[in-house]
Chain A
Amino acid sequence: MASSLEIKNLHVSIGDKEIVKGLSLTVKTGEVHAIMGPNGTGKSTLSKAIAGHPDYTITSGDVLIDGKSILGIEPDERARAGLFLAFQYPAEIPGVSIANFIRAALQAKMGEGEELDATAYYKKLYQKMDMLQIDRKFTSRAVNDGFSGGEKKRCEILQMAMLEPRFAMMDETDSGLDIDALRIVSDGVNQLKGDALGVIMITHYQRLLNYIVPDHVHVMWDGRIVKSGDKSLALELEAKGYEWVKKELIKA
């Protein structure tokens, strides 16, 4: 049975400033939603607030997974409940290898007294790395430490592949990528797509959507979703620009 992530009339503030102003969206596993919008419209704020970043205050509304609110639980509990955020700017963790980090994350999902099987873990890790065309040496490097933009994004996708979330929010995954890196990262996401995963792709440009084709496209403007449609909306947006949305909004 499909799971659902429901965002209900969400309001988010940073300090006194309201950034997300009543946003609603339901994503089911098996679906890919794209949220597009100009810079500063609240796209990244939305994803961080849902993940539970302490700097973002949810002033009203709710976020539910399968009908259960996640707002009362800690960021790590939300993660263990199956929520994944691919960061636009992932943090560096010097001295901790990617292999050890993912292992610690998987171990954290297990119950008290349960021990992750090391052999099975590495088997799975190598399998996912092969799938994502990642070099074996990559995972012995410290997490994001001195990585190029492309390497950081690949590291995020690898973690996503290993942690197998139910819902992934991908924040500007295409930013800072050249065309080759973009293709590799999108290929990876396409491989991970499926009945068990719901994806929210946050992007500024239509470019990414040539590679990862969304089922639904939403345009975000000033903290709200102002327009929704299928993938053709992205193309229309690309052709007419965000000014077009603005004009439509003024008319209405």
Chain B
Amino acid sequence: MADTTLTSEPVQSDNPVTGIDQSAGNFSYKVDYEFDAGTGLSEKTVEYISAAKKEDPWIREFRLKALKVFESKPMPTHWATKDLEAIDFSKIRYYLSSGQKPKRTWDEVPDDIKRTFERLGIPEQERKFLAGVEAQFDSEAAYSNVKEAVSKQGVIFMNSGEALKEHPEIFKKWFGKVIPTGDNKFSALNSAVFSGGSFIYVPKGVKVSHPLQAYFRINAENFGQFERTLIIADEGSEVTYMEGCTAPKFSTSTLHSAVVELVALKGAKIQYITVQNWAANVFNLVTKRGVAHEEAEIKWIDCNIGSRLTMKYPGVILKGRKARGEVISIALANDGQHQDTGAKMVHAADETTSNIIAKSISVGHGRSTYRGMVHMPKHLKGCKNNTECDALLINTNSRTDTYPSITVRGAENKVQHEASVSKVSEEQIFYMRQRGLTEAQAMSLSVNGFINDLARQFPMEYSVELKRLIDLEMEGSVG
């Protein structure tokens, strides 16, 4: 299996996400991998992955069972976009071991990509990694510092694969419990071929003061296509986790399908922050869900930019009395992109509260869809949900759809739903241009203003990066 050669498929379209033309000839390159499961998906592929990872038999069985579920499930095109049918599962590589050096030099990286990195203020070392010049970003040191600091408090923070070996008792107890294999076709796919992702366990009463960043860890081990993340916050503990980075990831793979499970035990708090910027050819199909026990709190802050199609609806199952769930979501769909995002809140105990604030921006031919599900059964008392869902359209071709599904039974529960669609008008743009701003700067300012109240909830460095990213995005969308 070694020495297989992969030629990345040339990306056909330019990438309006960054204003970068990804079709620039020298962006196709050859890479030799040590372990490679080849293309296509079969029992053999799954067995190969499990063997390469030297896994216990129960995991291997778990994967094989998941494969059957994946194969038996139809594409969810009866409610989702038909574009899903464009995914050719037989052409995807499901497993590549990390750590190999791609044979490409910095000189070969197109100038416009270098400029993008510069504009985003990405450090030199990381630029090389992101451009695929270096397979590894040398942040191992930063990662081990964080890891060491938190381990003094008893916090476990490691790769999921490592955790399966080192902490099988905790892993097995929660793994696949929040999101069962058969939840949807893509959670089944992930369950069959997962690799990478983070595992975090925070012991009782421990409050992790600094956010744990996958930025360090994932960079150190290469981004996962099918990562699996599991975070358990034990009673009364608190943790914030941040994943992704705003730099475009020039992946050779076109399918990203992660599963993220969170468990907040009694009185615990988990905040999960994602900022992702995908290349315009990527299908980003992610399942994210948390269970909040009594008086626990789970908050998802999710920011999606780029990709051909993103489908992501972070959810919280409010299992214990007085549990709280929150989803703050920002999605930006540029030309040729479809952001199908939203939230799920399942109220399963009295006095549980949930809050959903979703803002989407559609530019050019970009399309945004909001899907929200709030479920409050009749027998519950004192439950509350607030949903706000705002869409901003930039130019008349863009499209936005809202599909709220709120099932509320019983007179003792409260639901509030507000939705708005606004447009960046020609008058608004002209007004700003009259003050000296270019068209792109004016649009960027409108977008930043629209998400301003949400962006403030991001950690400082993320909101700064987000602003820069929107600037670049708007530059790319103006003729």
- A interface residues (Cβ-Cβ under 8 A, vs B): 51-55, 74-76, 79-80, 84-85, 87, 90-96, 101-102, 104-106, 108-109, 142, 159, 163
Q: Which of A74, A95, A142: most chain B Cβ within 10 A? A: A95
Contacting pair A104 B437 (CB below 8 A):
yes
Q: Indicate whether B432 reaches chain A with its CB closer than 8 angstroms.
A: yes
Q: A91-B425, A94-B449, A96-B448 are in contact. Are A85 and B434 (CB under 8 A)?
A: yes
Kindly state the separation between the CA atoms of A104 and B428 in the bound complex, as whole angstroms.
Answer: 15
Contact B434 A75 (CB under 8 A): yes
Contact of A94 among B427, B439, B441, B450 (CB under 8 A): B450
Question: Given A96-B445, A105-B436, A163-B436, A91–B431 Cβ distance below 8 Å?
Answer: yes
Give the nearest-CB partner of B425 in chain A. Answer: A91
CA of A85 to CA of B449, assembled, Å = 23
Is B446 part of the binding interface, using a Cβ–Cβ cutoff of 8 Å?
yes
Complex interface: chain B residues within 8 A of A54 (CB): 426, 430
B470 CB to closest chain A CB, in angstroms? 12
What are 5 A-B interface contacts by the 8 Å CB criterion? Answer: A55-B426, A75-B433, A76-B442, A108-B437, A163-B436
User: Do A79 and B433 touch (CB < 8 A)?
Assistant: yes
Flag whether B452 is at the interface (Cβ < 8 A). yes
Q: Which residue from A53, A75, A80, A101 sits with its C-beta under 8 Å from B445?
A: A101
Contact across chains for A95 and B452 when beta carbons are under 8 A apart: yes
* A104: chain B residues within 8 A (beta carbon): 437, 441, 445
Residues of B within 8 A of A142 (CB): 449
Q: Check: B173 CB closer than 8 A to any chain A CB.
A: no
CB distance from B20 to the nearest CB of A (A): 19
With a cutoff of 8 Å between Cβ atoms, the chain A residues found around residue B428 in the complex are 91-93
From B429, which residue of chain A is reached at the shortest CB distance? A91
Closest B residue to A86 by beta carbon equals B434
Verify B448–A105 contact, CB threshold 8 A: no
- Cβ distance B432 to chain A, nearest Cβ, rounded Å: 7
Interface centre among A55, A93, A109 (most CB of B within 10 A): A93
**Known contacts A53-B430, A54-B430, A91-B425: does B449 contact A76 (CB below 8 Å)?**
no
Asked if B446 and A93 make an inter-chain contact with CB atoms under 8 angstroms apart, the answer reads yes
Q: Give the chain A neighbours of B427 by CB distance below 8 A.
A: 91
- Residue ID in chain A nearest B447 by CB atoms: A95
Q: A79-B433, A104-B437, A106-B436 are in contact. List 8 more A-B contacts (CB 8 A).
A: A53-B430, A54-B426, A76-B434, A91-B427, A93-B445, A94-B450, A96-B449, A163-B435
Q: Which 4 A-B pairs have the closest CB atoms?
A: A95-B449, A96-B449, A91-B431, A95-B452
Instruction: Assess the A109–B449 pair: CB atoms within 8 A.
Output: no
Assuming the contacts A91-B425, A91-B427, A93-B428, asked whether A108 and B449 have C-beta atoms less than 8 A apart, the reply is no
Q: Are B439 and A76 in contact (CB under 8 A)?
A: yes
Contacting pair B435 A96 (CB below 8 A): no
Any A CB within 8 A of the CB of B451: yes
Q: In angstroms, how far is the closest chain A Cβ from the Cβ of B196?
A: 37
Asked if residues B452 and A80 are in contact (CB atoms below 8 Å), the reply is: no
**A76-B439, A101-B445 as given contacts; A93 in contact with B426, CB under 8 Å:** no
A79–B450 CB distance below 8 A: no
Interface residues on B, range: 20 to 34
Contact B449 A105 (CB under 8 A): no
Interface residues in B384-404 by Cβ distance below 8 A to A read: none
B438: Cβ under 8 A from any A Cβ: yes
Contacts of A93 in B (CB 8 A): 428, 431-432, 445-446, 449
Cβ of B453 < 8 Å from any Cβ of A?
A: yes
In the bound complex, do residue B441 and residue A108 qualify as a contact, i.e. CB atoms below 8 Å apart?
yes
B425, B437, B451 pick with most chain A CB within 10 angstroms: B437
> Closest chain A residue to B446 by CB distance?
A93
Contact of B436 among A76, A90, A91 (CB under 8 A): A76
Inter-chain contact B434/A51, CB cutoff 8 Å: yes
Q: Is the CB of A90 within 8 A of B437?
A: no
| Contact (Cβ within 8 A) B430 A75 | yes
B448-A95 in contact (CB<8A)? yes
Write the nearest CB–CB distance from B102 to chain A, whole angstroms.
Answer: 33
C-alpha gap A105/B445 in the complex (Å): 11
**A219 CA to B339 CA in the complex, in Å?**
55
**Residues of B contacting A85 in the complex (Cβ-Cβ under 8 angstroms):** 434
- How far, in angstroms, from A79 to B451 measured CA to CA in the complex? 27
Complex CA–CA separation, A102 to B432 (angstroms): 10
Chain B proximity of A155: nearest CB distance (Å): 11
Chain A residues with Cβ under 8 A from B432's Cβ?
91, 93, 101, 105
Contact A79 B436 (CB under 8 A): yes
Compute how far the CA of A85 lies from the CA of B452 in the bound complex, rounded to whole angstroms: 27
CB distance from B440 to the nearest CB of A (A): 10
A171 to chain B, nearest CB (A): 11
Contacts of A76 in B (CB 8 A): 433-439, 442
Q: A105 vs B450: C-alpha distance in the bound complex, in angstroms?
A: 18
The answer, among A87, A94, A106, A108, for a CB contact under 8 Å with B438, is A108
The CA-CA distance from A213 to B425 in the complex, in Å, is 36
With A95-B451, A96-B448, A104-B441 in contact, do A80 and B431 touch (Cβ < 8 Å)? no
Contact, CB under 8 Å: B436 / A109: yes
Known contacts being A101-B445, A104-B441, A108-B441, is A95 close to B435, with CB within 8 Å? no
List of A residues within 8 angstroms of B422 by Cβ = 94
What's the Cα separation between A108 and B446 when bound, in Å?
15
Residues of B127-145 at the interface with A, using a CB-CB cut-off of 8 Å, are none
User: Are A95 and B431 touching (Cβ within 8 A)?
Assistant: no
Tell me the bound Cα distance from A8 to B435 in angstroms: 24
The listed residue with most B CB atoms (<10 A of its CB), out of A76, A101, A102, is A76
Complex contacts, A75 vs chain B, CB 8 Å: 430, 433-434
